[in-house]
Amino acid sequence: MALVDEMAATPPQPRRAGRAGGRQARRDMRAAPLTEDIRPIRPGMNGGTYQPFSPAQVEQVHEAVLDVLENIGLSQATPTCIEACESLGAIMGEDGRLRFPRKVVMDTVANANRSFAVHGRDEKHDLHPNGNKVHFGTAGAAVHIVDVERNEYRESYLKDIYDAARIVDTLDNIHFFQRPMVARDVVDPDELDLNTLYACVSGTSKHIGTSFTLPGVVPKALEMLYKIAGGEAAFRARPFVSNSNCFVVPPLRFAADACDVLEECVKGGMPVLLLSAGQAGATAPAAIAGAVVQAVAEVLAGLVYVNGLAPGHPAIFGTWPFVSDLRTGAMSGGSGEQALLSAACGQMAIFYDLPGGTAAGMCDSKMPDIQAGWEKGIAYALAGMAGTNMIYEAAGMHGSLMGFCLESLFLDNDALGQALRCVRGIEVDEDTLSISAMRDVCVGGPGHYLGHGQTLDRMQKDYVYPDLANRFSPKEWAEKGKPDIVEMAIARKNEVLSSHFPNYIDRETDRWIRKGMTIHLPEDVMKPA
C-alpha cells in the first residue's frame, strides 16, 4: 500500500495535526506546489559539513599560495593589468613576471566585495553567493549535442542554446544558466558572442553567464543588455548577466585577449567570474593539493587585478582545476579526484570568505546512463556539502565537456534535488528528536508513525520527491508499462520545448536589437507553431 494511502487509513492519533478530506485530499495536498517557507530544499542553503582539508591543511595550502604569488608570480601581464596590479602594490620583475607580496594579497582579500547578489531578471531568481550558501547551474563550452534518441553526437547550434535556456527556466534545482554550448552554426566570433547572449537572455529569467572572445564585442553586448534592462543605470543596479572570464592560461600566465575583455566588462558594470581552469597533470600539478594551490594563486592574482581596476567590483573566485586520466592525458571530469578537487576549491573560497565558484558534475559518460549517475552524484554531493557558492557545469554535461544533453537537464534536476537534501543536512531540536512522537505511538498508540501529525508535517518539510525517478515496486512498475527514465526525459523535453516560449525581450526591444545586430535565431522558432 502506498504511504499516503496508509496514512489516510490510519485512525486519528494524539497530538496529530488536523487532517481534511480523506485519501483524495491527501493526494491533492501532496501534489500541490509547496510554499517557499516549507520547501525542503531551495537555492542558497548552507553547506560546509564536508571538509576535504583539515584546518591545518587549509593553512598549508594558504601559505603555499602566498609563496607562489610572492616568489613565482605570473607572466605575460598586459600593460593595463600591470598598472592595475601595481596600483595595489604588486611588483613587476625584470624577468617579466608580476609578483604579489603577501600584504597586497591579504589586503585585497580583506577589502573585496563579498556581499553582492547574482541577479536574475526576476527577483525571485536572485542568488547570494556568500558564506556557505550553495547554488547549482550550467556552464561549459560543449561543441556537440548528445542526441539520445539516435545514440550519437551532433554539432551544437544556436537554437540548442535557446532550447537549453528555456528548459532551465522551468527547473527548480538548476539555479542559474551559464552558456553551456558553442553555436557551431555562427562562424563570426563577434556574431557568435552576441547571438549566444541573445539566445540566453531570450530563454530564461535566471541569472546568465556568458563569455566574449574579443574585447571589441563587449560594448555592443552591453548596449544590448542596457536596452533590455531599460537603461544603463538599471543594468548596473541589477546586472543579470556576468562574464565568465579565463583571464589566465595555466600555469601562471595571463591571457591577453581575456584580460582586455575583463577590463571592458568591469568598465561596463558586469560582474565577472575569475576563472582558472588548469588540468592536473598537464597545465596544473598532478598532485591534487598542488592543483588547488595553483588555481587559488591564479584567481587571487585576478582578484588583485579586478580591485586595481575598480575597488569592490563584484567578482566570483572561480577556481576550476580539472583532472587528467594520467594513463592517456585525457580530461576526466567524472572522476573521484575531480569531485575532491571541486570540494577543496569550495573550502578554500570559504576560508577566504570570498564568493566562490567551481565546476562539478561534468561526467565522462557519453550518454545519460548509470556511469553518468554515479559520476554526477558523487560530484554534486561533495561540492555542495563543502559549501561551494556557485557550482557550474552541474547539469546536462557529458563526454568530459564535449557534449551537452537536453534530456539530462531533467534527470540532473532530480539528482540535484537529492544532493541539495544532503547539503541541508539533519536538523536536531526538540521536535526532530521525536520523544513526544514516540510516546504518542508507543504508549497506547498504534505502534507505527504512518498517520502521526509529525509524519504528515515532516513529509512536506523534510523529504524531497523526485520528478522523473520512480520509486514503484516491481509490480507497480510492470503495471505502469515499465517506464524508462530516459524515455520519460525525452517526453518531458518535447513537452517543454513545444509549450514554453517565454517573452523576456519585449517586441519593441527585440526589433531594435535585430535592426542593429545580426541575429541568427529566427523569430518563428521563438513562438508556438
CB atoms within 10 A of CB 478: 10
Which of 404, 384, 385 lies closest to 395 in space, CA to CA? 404
Average pLDDT over residues 279-296: 96
Q: Is the pLDDT of residue 449 over 80?
A: yes
Residue 523 lies in a domain: no
Average pLDDT over residues 284-308: 97
State if pTM tops 0.85: yes
Residue 223 lies in a domain: yes
Residue 385 lies in a domain: yes
pLDDT at 460: 83
DSSP-derived pairing of the beta strands 315-319 and 356-359 = parallel
Q: Is the pLDDT of residue 263 over 50?
A: yes
* Residue 152 to residue 149: CA distance in whole angstroms: 8
Residue 440 lies in a domain: no
Phi, psi of 215 (to 5 degrees): -65, -25
Residue 70 lies in a domain: yes
Which of 342, 390, 389, 387 lies closest to 363 in space, CA to CA? 342
Coarse DSSP helix, strand, coil percentages of the chain, rounded to the nearest 5 percent = 45, 15, 40
Dihedral (CA of 158, 162, 163, 168) sign: positive
What the block records as the C-alpha cell of 448 is: 507505527
pLDDT at 23: 53
pLDDT at 4: 42
* Residue 426 to residue 464: CA distance in whole angstroms: 13
pLDDT greater at residue 502 or residue 31? 502
Question: Is the distance from CB of 302 to CB of 247 less than 8 angstroms?
Answer: yes
Dihedral (CA of 302, 306, 311, 317) sign: negative
pLDDT at 9: 44
Q: Is the pLDDT of residue 471 over 90?
A: yes
Least confident of 20-29, 236-245, 478-487, 513-522: 20-29
* Residue 10 to residue 200: CA distance in whole angstroms: 50
Q: Is the pLDDT of residue 514 over 50?
A: yes
Average pLDDT over residues 285-296: 97
pLDDT at 450: 93
Average pLDDT over residues 403-407: 98
SS3 (DSSP) at 5: helix
- Looking at the chain, the whole-number percentage of residues with pLDDT higher than 70 is 93
Residue 355: domain span: 33-97+129-426+455-512
* Residue 118 to residue 240: CA distance in whole angstroms: 7
Which of 406, 383, 381, 384 lies closest to 395 in space, CA to CA? 406
Q: Tell me the CATH number at 272.
A: 3.20.20.480
Query: What confidence tens digit (pLDDT) does each residue in 207-248 have?
Result: 999 999 999 999 999 999 999 999 999 999 999 999 999 999
Per residue, what are the HEC states of 234-269?
Answer: HHHHCCCEEEEECCECCCCEECHHHHHHHHHHHHCC
pLDDT greater at residue 342 or residue 33? 342
Residue 176 CA: distances (Å) to CA of 204, 241, 404, 439: 9, 10, 16, 45
Q: How many CA atoms lie within 13 A of 209 on its CB side?
A: 30
Average pLDDT over residues 184-205: 98
The long-range contacts involving 484-490, CB below 8 angstroms and separated by at least 24 positions, are 485/411, 486/148, 486/368, 486/407, 486/411, 489/148, 489/368, 489/407, 489/408, 489/410, 489/411, 490/148, 490/149, 490/407
The long-range contacts involving 441-449, CB below 8 angstroms and separated by at least 24 positions, are 441/13, 445/13, 445/14, 446/10, 446/11, 446/13, 448/10
Average pLDDT over residues 415-433: 95
Q: Is the pLDDT of residue 439 over 50?
A: yes
Query: What confidence tens digit (pLDDT) does each residue in 6-59 have?
Result: 444 444 443 333 344 455 555 565 556 667 767 888 999 999 999 999 999 999
Query: What confidence tens digit (pLDDT) does each residue in 109-160 have?
Result: 999 999 999 999 999 999 999 999 999 999 999 999 999 999 999 999 999 9
pLDDT confidence of 5, banded at 50, 70, 90?
A: very low
pLDDT at 28: 60
Average pLDDT over residues 77-103: 98
Residue 333 lies in a domain: yes
pLDDT at 443: 95
Query: What confidence tens digit (pLDDT) does each residue in 363-374 have?
Result: 999 999 999 999
Burial 316-345 (b: 16+ CB within 10 A, else e): bbbbbbbbbeeeeeebbbbbebbbbbbbbb
**Domains identified in the chain, total number:** 1
Residue 12 lies in a domain: no
Helices and strands (H and E) in the chain: how many: 20, 19
pLDDT at 25: 58
pLDDT at 420: 97
Which amino acid is located at 403 in the chain?
Answer: G
Residue 54 lies in a domain: yes
- Looking at the chain, the whole-number percentage of residues with pLDDT higher than 90 is 88
* Average of per-residue pLDDT values in the chain: 93
What the block records as the C-alpha cell of 219 is: 560594448
pLDDT at 10: 43
pLDDT at 431: 93
